[in-house]
Structure 1
Amino acid sequence: MDCTTSEALVGPRSEDALPASATSAVKVVIVGGFGVGKTTLVRSVSEIRPLTTEETMTQAGVGVDDIAGVEHKTATTVAMDFGRISLNEQLVLYLFGTPGQERFWFLWNGLFEGALGAVVLVDTRRLEVSFDVIGRLEDRGVPFVVAINAFPDAPVHPLSELRAAMDLPDYVPMIDCDARDRASCRDALLTLMRYLHTLTTATPESQ
């Protein structure tokens, strides 16, 4: 599912300019375990040429990175992915994709600074790789939604069963998503925005 090619950055294009109508910009982080499709999501949904930091996987990662279930991967994000999408004429989201390997998690501190929320991508073939990611978000107090990425060979389970397996509270939104499809990725981001809105408007008694 990962796309390993990227367009060379040769200077800004007119279509990359921020829309003049934009009045609000929000930072959102795309997180998940190794190989769950974060780079693919950012590339699929970004309205500008995404910035990626993918490098070819080498022998240095052997015995360090857990590639069980994603043995076909040949490249991996080593710093971050960056993209942008305008949800409407006023609201712009800046997307920051995090590296999935635990050895790069020290970079999360900077990536999460100023972020209002996160989308957690999950691969049902390797559900366990999402546990530590969600735990770190909960420890940081970062609001998040969970998006179940639609890998072609992944087992399909009802969302209620996945919620129970991940021990997620009922109030955390969980949706299906296809990281290759722009509309599906946009829906996941809209779900996060709606969730963040409910958190800002909820009364103390309802939280």
Structure 2
Amino acid sequence: MTNENTQAVQIDPIKERRARILKIARAKKQSGELSMIEAGAVMAGAALLALAVYAGGKYVLDLIHSSQFKSEAQMFHTGILNATQNDADFSSETLTVLAQNHAFDSAGSRVASDKSAVKGMFNGTVTAAVGTLVTSNDSLILTYPVTSTVCSLSAAALITVYTQVTVNGTTIFSPTVTFNPQTVATACASNGAMASMGLWTTRT
């Protein structure tokens, strides 16, 4: 056998091995597997994201809870108006009657099966009472316990929905009281970690 033939026999297995390696690499790429470099980059990105969430975790969570609460409060308002649309006033309404007429359906399983109670998002009990703003029994007042932070973050949005809003007994907005952010901040923090928001629904 000549040197040339010997070289050919030695080179062919090397070429074949390289071809196999390339084929495996392509197959892995096509199947969606990441290379070591790509996997490292993904893990580094995930670590940075986790660090960012950890650092601002409470604030982000408060924003999420505030958004959820505002949405539910708006749905409750719409539900109350729909459930009482044929009433002359709110004198015959109770929380149970409102729940039976689906005013609080947006709360899902937090409405008791017998419609006797509604739990708020923060495990407090939501109550309903008839009130008077201008004329007798012209208002339905929901009392909803929230965290003091969610109270501060959501108050400005709720005054665009409800006729009157109180916080821990302080009126922060009504037809005769102008909304003031400083009043809101003081009222929301006046009872520690939790705040009781009074949400007044009227027909005007």
TM-score range, shorter chain: under 0.3
Normalising by structure 2, we get a TM-score of: 0.26
Structure with more strand by fraction: 1
The structure having more radius of gyration, on CA atoms, is 2
Structure with more helix by fraction: 2
Normalising by structure 1, we get a TM-score of: 0.25
